[in-house]
Amino acid sequence: MNARNLTYSFICMFVGACFVSCNMSSSSFSYSHGKAGEVLIVMKEDLWKGACGDSVRSYLTEPVMGLPAPEPNFTLSQTTELTSIMQKFRNIVIFNIDPGYETSNLKYRSDVYSKYQLIFNIDAPSADSAIACMYKNKDLITARFLLKDRDAIIDDYKRSVSGQIFAKMSKKNQVDIIIPSSYSFYNEKEDFEWIKREEGERQWHILIWKYPYLRTSQLDTDSLIFKMNAMTRENVPGPTTGSYMADEPTVPPFVKRFEKNGVYTVQMNGLWQTENAYMGGPYVSQTIVDTKRGQLVTAHGFVFYPNRDKRQMIRQLEAILYTMTPTD
C-alpha cells in the first residue's frame, strides 16, 4: 500500500472517529485504528525500496507456524511520515536514520496515542546499523505485537462474553473461559463439549474435555495427540461414513510449554485432517493442569475455511484459549 492510498484510508477512519467523538468527553482515550496483524512502517521511500525495506519485510513477514499454507506473521503498510491521522494506528515501527546517532537503539511505548497501541522506534546512524538492530530484535518485536493484539482481542471478547457458556464451563469442567456470544453449543456429552461459530463459509470450533491427571507423561506431545485423536474420533465425525477428524501425522505440531497465571500449560499449533475424507485446516490447543482437582482440561480450537487465509481466525481462537484457567 503506497503512502497516498494509506493516507486516504486513514482520512476515512479519522472522519468516522470524529462523528463518534462528538458524544465523548475530550479526555476519552480512543481505540487504535488498523486490524490485528497489521503493522505500519514509517520509513523514507528510498530506504523502503532498498535493503532496509527488504530486511523489514523479510523479518516481519516470516510464515506463521501451524498453517496449511504460508501466511505472513504481519501484513505491512508503509508511509514516509507519521502524520496526526496515522498516529492512531495500532502497531507501528518508526525508523529514524541519522548520522548524528552514535549507535543504533531500540525503544518501545504502549498506548501513546490510542488504546492497544504499540510503537517501536529504531534510531540508527545508518541503514546498515538499522538492519542489524532490526535483526537482533525481530523476535522481541514480533512477540510484543502478537501479545498486544491478543490482549485487544481478549478485551473485546470480554465485552460480549456468553454468560451461558461461561457458567456451564465453570460448573461442568471447573474452568473459567471467555467465549463471546457469537459462539453457541453445537454438541454436548457428559465429558465433551463442542462450541461453534459460523459466518458464511468461515467456521470456528472449540472442543473441550477433561480427564484425570495421573502422571506427568500425560503431558508428553505424543500422549496429548493420542488423547486428542481419541476424543475427535469418537465425537467429531466427518462428512462420509467412517470419516472423522484427526491430527495430521505428517506435520508435527509446534509445541509450547509455559505457565499462565501460575497454571502449567501445554499449547500445540498443528494441522487437522479428516480420515477417509478430504477436509482439513489448522488447530490450536491448550491443555492446563488443574492441580487442585487432579485433572487435565483441554480446549481444542480449529477452523475450517477452505482455500482462504486463516491466520487471524486461528489467532482469535488462541486468544480465547489463553483466557482458560481453573475456577477458584
**Domain-wise residue ranges, the chain:** 3-157, 161-326
pLDDT per residue over 121-157, tens digit each?
Answer: 999 999 999 999 999 999 999 999 999 999 999 999 9
Query: Picking from 31-35, 80-84, 294-298, 317-321, which range would have the lowest pLDDT averaged per residue?
Result: 31-35
Give the SS3 label for residue 203. strand
pLDDT at 12: 41
pTM recorded for the entire structure: 0.88
Q: Considering the chain, what is the average pLDDT of its residues?
A: 91
Q: CA 325, CA 1: separation in Å to the nearest integer?
A: 41
Can you list the alpha helix ranges (DSSP code H) found in 68-190?
A: 127-158, 163-172
C-alpha cell at 105: 537503539
Across 156-218, the runs of DSSP E, i.e. the strands, are: 175-176, 184-189, 192-199, 202-212
Q: Is the pLDDT of residue 158 over 50?
A: yes
Asked whether residue 328 carries a pLDDT value surpassing 90, the answer given is no
Predicted confidence at residue 81, as pLDDT, reads 95
Which pLDDT tens digit goes with each residue over 52-75? 999 999 999 999 999 999 999 999
Say what the pLDDT of residue 29 is. 61
Q: Which secondary-structure segment (H or E) carries 322?
A: helix 311-322
Please state, in angstroms and rounded to a whole number, the distance separating the CA atoms of residues 26 and 15: 16
Query: For the residues 68-85, what does the mean pLDDT come to?
Result: 95
Condensed to tens digits (0 to 9), the pLDDT of residues 242-301 reads 999 999 999 999 999 999 999 999 999 999 999 988 899 999 999 999 999 999 999 999
Integer Cα distance of 205 and 284 in angstroms: 10
DSSP run (H or E) holding 266: strand 263-275
The whole-number pLDDT of residue 201 equals 94
Q: May I ask the CATH architecture of the domain 161-326?
A: 3-Layer(aba) Sandwich (3.40)
pLDDT band at residue 178, thresholds of 50, 70 and 90? very high
Looking at 2.60.120, 3.30.379, 3.30.70, 1.10.8, the CATH number of the domain 3-157 comes to 3.30.379
